[in-house]
Copies of this chain bind each other. A is one copy, B any other.
Amino acid sequence: MDLQYPLELIGTFVFAISGALAVRDKEHDLFGAGFTGFITAIGGGTLRDVFLGSYPLVWIGDIFFLYAILAGVLAAFIFPKFLLKLRKTMFLFDTLGIGFFTVLGVEKALSLGVRPEVAAIMGMFTAVMGGVIRDTLVNEIPILFRKEIYASACLAGAILYLVLHYLGLERDYNLLISTIVVIAIRMVAFRYKLSLPRLD
């Protein structure tokens, strides 16, 4: 699938934009916004790779990821109003991003020889932990705890990918189907404000 590498770079770019814009209401200067965009974009994959002991980290081994982040942060600096008007587009991109990175995270974990249960968690971590770390740094309740079905959509997609994988589905179809399922769950949950029940 020749599209994978450019899609990873685009996903990183989008995560950097959404991270930088996320702190717009706060008392953050340009540097703080750039830092936050950076953390959002690298957080999930970095945590996954540190947990798996997989070195070098993706953004350290391949400099193009750093440039994708830089481009995202610059875009957020130069066109903030334009990007914020594109709120729906950004939401769409973010949702595409978490779907896609979930599956890639599962695949990377599997390729490093861990069990599928662990791979499912790593897929979810790849997708959502950048946002969790960002929210923790800026002193907000992490997105994971606030939003309509979010990380659980990633976990569901990760488990689906693993099931289809062990059933022998070809990888490209599986990547596509599982990503779409994450996206669909998230979008339906968002539109109808669905959330999981609370503990009480």
Interface check A55, CB cutoff 8 A: yes
Q: Mark A145-162, 1 if CB is under 8 A from B, else 0.
A: 110010110010000000
Residue of A31, A52, A114 with highest tally of chain B CB at under 10 A: A31
Given contacts A31-B151, A56-B53, A146-B27, contact A117 B200 (CB under 8 A): no
Scan residues 1-44 of chain A and give those whose CB is less than 8 A from a CB of chain B.
Answer: 20-21, 23-24, 26-33, 35, 38
Taking a contact as CB atoms closer than 8 A, the residue among B118, B155, B197 that contacts A60 in the complex is B118
What CA separation (Å) do A138 and B24 show in the bound complex?
Answer: 22
- A63:B118 contact, CB within 8 angstroms: yes
Cross-chain contact A114 with B27 (CB below 8 angstroms): no
How many chain A residues touch B (Cβ–Cβ < 8 Å)?
55
CB distance from A146 to the nearest CB of B (A): 7
A167 contacts B by Cβ under 8 Å:
no
The reply to whether A199 and B50 form a contact with Cβ atoms under 8 Å apart is no
Is A182 part of the binding interface, using a Cβ–Cβ cutoff of 8 Å? no
Q: Does A136 sit within 8 A of B, measured CB to CB? A: yes
Q: In the complex, A97 Cα to B29 Cα: how many Å?
A: 23
* Cβ-closest chain B residue relative to A81: B200
A195 interface contact, C-beta 8 A: yes
Per a CB cutoff under 8 Å, which of B20, B46, B198 touches A51?
B46
Q: Does A175 interact with chain B (Cβ within 8 Å)?
A: no
Is the Cβ of B141 less than 8 Å from the Cβ of A132? no
The answer to whether A145 and B138 touch (CB under 8 A), given A60-B51, A115-B63, A196-B31, is yes
In Å, the complex CA distance between A66 and B76 comes to 40
